[in-house]
Structure 1
Amino acid sequence: MSNGLLLLPDFLLIACGFLLCRYTALDRPIWESAERLVYYLLFPVLLFNSIVKTPLQPAQTLGLAAAGVGVMLCGVALAFALGRWPGVDARLHASGAQIAFRFNSYIALALAERLGGSQGVAWMALLIALCVPVANVAAVWSLARHGGHNYLKEIARNPLIISTLAGLAANSAGLTFPEAVATTLQRIGVAALPIGLLAVGAGLRMGGLKKGPWLAATLLGIRHAVLPAIGFGLTLALALPPEQRHIAVLFAAMPTASSAFVLASRMGGDGPYVAALVTVSTLLGMVSIPIWLALI
């Protein structure tokens, strides 16, 4: 299966969520409950469990870490700079800015395993562990500021940020769980991806991007063209070995996170707009990822 086709199951799950919500008895109120389940339990457990089990070894991968964090910071800066352009709708920007810098870690890990085996997975997990806190803090800050929420309070109680920091602390302490507990956490985390993608589809409004097409095009351009180019340049500047270069560029070219829709919906943003952006980003990733990997 090609790298592009690896994204097809994720898009099919989004399509299934859309069809279930529109044409069956599983209507919107059910999916609102599913969104809360994903946001407060499934995604946090997945993040915590993934980070705890990952041998980070940052001292051996400083160049790779620098490339990944550099890509993330560039994405955040470019996304927030768009909010200063005249005529940009503040609510749409607050909701959609995260699209430009957040990434789908599940797809990233799947493709990293295909490209680099267990070593590729370990390198990608390091980038995820370093960049998830930055991405989540930036996304929450944008939504909290626009929605009139107390920023520090939202950061302190955000389940995605809490679970990431807890995972890093547990990893540093060498924490391990009994087999029964580890298996339970694993099974809870596995449910996050399919339910989260189904919730994205259930919240999809086909006309969502009509509210801000220019903003949508720019955010998606940053995510799928600008950041991979920056990632490629950083790998050359840092003289990364070929194997790490593939992982760094793959990370930079990821489609946006499916949880972006859940975060926007839960914090009073424009959920349908973000859901449409997530769907388009997943489609674009099927095309752009093979292209960027071929350029390497």
Structure 2
Amino acid sequence: MSNSLLLLPDFLLILCGFAICRWTALDRPVWEAAERLVYYLLFPVLLFNSVVHTPLDPGSTTSLAIGGVLVCITGIALAYALQLLPKVDALAHASGAQTAFRFNSFIALAVAERLLGAQGVAWVALLIALGVPICNVAAVWPLARHGGQGYLKELARNPLIIATVGGLICNVAGLHLPQPVTLTLHRIGQASLPLGLMAVGAGLRLGALREWPRLAAGFMAIRHLALPLIALALGALLHLPAPQRLLLLMFSAVPTASSCYVLAARMGGRADFVAGLVTLSTLIGMLSLPLWLLIAPN
């Protein structure tokens, strides 16, 4: 029950963001700017600072990295397989498939910090660095009209990947930042967690879920049921220590990425449908993630 109580403040921040956006003068344009601030500055600083100051031990993280990659690849395969269902709208599937395997980095980092402190943030940073390019390419592929030209360049400019890789390079090189710089980066990074969670709440809205209910149910079953079960199995098969099993399970059970809507809208997909899926996934995750952590191996 302790893990559930640890997550309560994070979910309350999501609800606060929703309430503030809906019922105060701090409406959607304010939160769109906040999302950009978190995504391009605050979260990258948090990732960089966490990775720089965490002792690297490749032998202890290789199995965790393999588990994270396998969770992402399995989610992609299951989401793609849903297009084989009868009477599936091709564009709705192409737009919504990403919600089954993409993950909300804001929530993953916040929960990791609460569960395992700086070590958990560093481990999640590794999973994000591996999972973001895999999931983003898989998300674009169904929507791409001309093979996604130029998308590799976009991935190379992803601030989360840049921050994690930069942190790894500095760590390996033995770079030690001056104490005032370290403290400043720490404070900037800490600001990202509450603001990022409130931004998630501000973006909640239901869309055209009624048009394709079976498809929506399939995507949500993959995101919140199949992937956590797979993570539990992988944790046992890979003989992960208990903290890493907990982290892999959490990573597999977090809600989908809020940026799924942005991608669908940018590439001419069913944006309203995806907005509804993102909202539904966040609401489901608020209930299911604590339950999954309750059964996590000790």
**Partner of 1:191: helix, strand, or coil?**
helix
Matches within 5 A, 1:101-112: 101-102=102-103, 104-112=108-116
> Structure 1 residues 179 and 25 mapped into 2: Cα distance closer, same or farther (>3 Å)?
same
Deviation of the 1:33 alpha carbon? 1.1
Work out the CA distance in 2 between the residues paired with 1:176 and 1:109.
22
> Structure 1 residues 206 and 67 mapped into 2: Cα distance closer, same or farther (>3 Å)?
closer
Matches within 5 A, 1:30-49: 30-49=30-49
Map Cα deviations across residues 177-203 of structure 1 (whole Å, 9 max, x no partner).
111111111111111121112112212
- Alpha carbons 2:3, 2:290 under 8 Å: kept: no
Q: Which residue of 2 aligns with 1:27?
A: 27
Q: Which residue of 1 aligns with 2:255?
A: 256
Map Cα deviations across residues 104-160 of structure 1 (whole Å, 9 max, x no partner).
1320232235xxxxxxx63x4564243212221134324544366621121121212
Work out the CA distance in 2 between the residues paired with 1:203 and 1:241.
36
**Partner of 1:234: helix, strand, or coil?**
helix
> Structure 1 residues 280 and 153 mapped into 2: Cα distance closer, same or farther (>3 Å)?
same
Work out the CA distance in 1 between the residues paired with 2:139 and 2:70.
23
- Alpha carbons 1:19, 1:202 under 8 Å: kept: yes
Q: Which residue of 1 aligns with 2:295?
A: 292
Q: Which residue of 2 aligns with 1:223?
A: 223
Amino acid at match of 1:170: C
Work out the CA distance in 2 between the residues paired with 1:168 and 1:83.
39
- Alpha carbons 1:69, 1:127 under 8 Å: kept: no
Deviation of the 1:73 alpha carbon? 3.1
Work out the CA distance in 2 between the residues paired with 1:183 and 1:84.
52
- Alpha carbons 1:17, 1:200 under 8 Å: kept: yes
Work out the CA distance in 1 between the residues paired with 2:172 and 2:84.
39
Deviates more, 1:205-214 or 1:45-54: 205-214
Deviation of the 1:83 alpha carbon? 5.4
Work out the CA distance in 1 between the residues paired with 2:201 and 2:17.
4
Work out the CA distance in 1 between the residues paired with 2:264 and 2:42.
18
Q: Establish whether residue 131 from structure 1 lines up as the match of residue 127 from structure 2.
A: yes
Work out the CA distance in 1 between the residues paired with 2:90 and 2:48.
35
> Structure 1 residues 167 and 98 mapped into 2: Cα distance closer, same or farther (>3 Å)?
farther
- Alpha carbons 1:47, 1:167 under 8 Å: kept: yes
TM, length-normalised to structure 1: 0.80
Matches within 5 A, 1:269-284: 270=271, 272-273=275-276, 275-284=278-287
Amino acid at match of 1:15: L
Structure 2 stretches lacking a partner, 5+ long: none
Amino acid at match of 2:7: L
Aligned positions, number: 284
Amino acid at match of 1:237: L
- Alpha carbons 2:40, 2:159 under 8 Å: kept: yes
> Structure 1 residues 215 and 108 mapped into 2: Cα distance closer, same or farther (>3 Å)?
farther
Work out the CA distance in 1 between the residues paired with 2:250 and 2:242.
12
Coordinate RMSD, CA, aligned: 3.1
Deviates more, 1:100-109 or 1:158-167: 100-109
- Alpha carbons 2:42, 2:192 under 8 Å: kept: yes
Q: Report the identity percentage.
A: 44
> Structure 1 residues 241 and 154 mapped into 2: Cα distance closer, same or farther (>3 Å)?
closer
> Structure 1 residues 266 and 52 mapped into 2: Cα distance closer, same or farther (>3 Å)?
farther
Matches within 5 A, 1:6-21: 6-21=6-21
Matches within 5 A, 1:63-212: 63-82=63-82, 87-88=88-89, 90=91, 93-94=94-95, 97-102=98-103, 104-112=108-116, 122=119, 124-125=120-121, 127-145=123-141, 146=143, 150-207=150-207, 209-210=209-210, 212=212
Structure 1 stretches lacking a partner, 5+ long: 114-120
Work out the CA distance in 2 between the residues paired with 1:267 and 1:49.
32
> Structure 1 residues 217 and 25 mapped into 2: Cα distance closer, same or farther (>3 Å)?
same
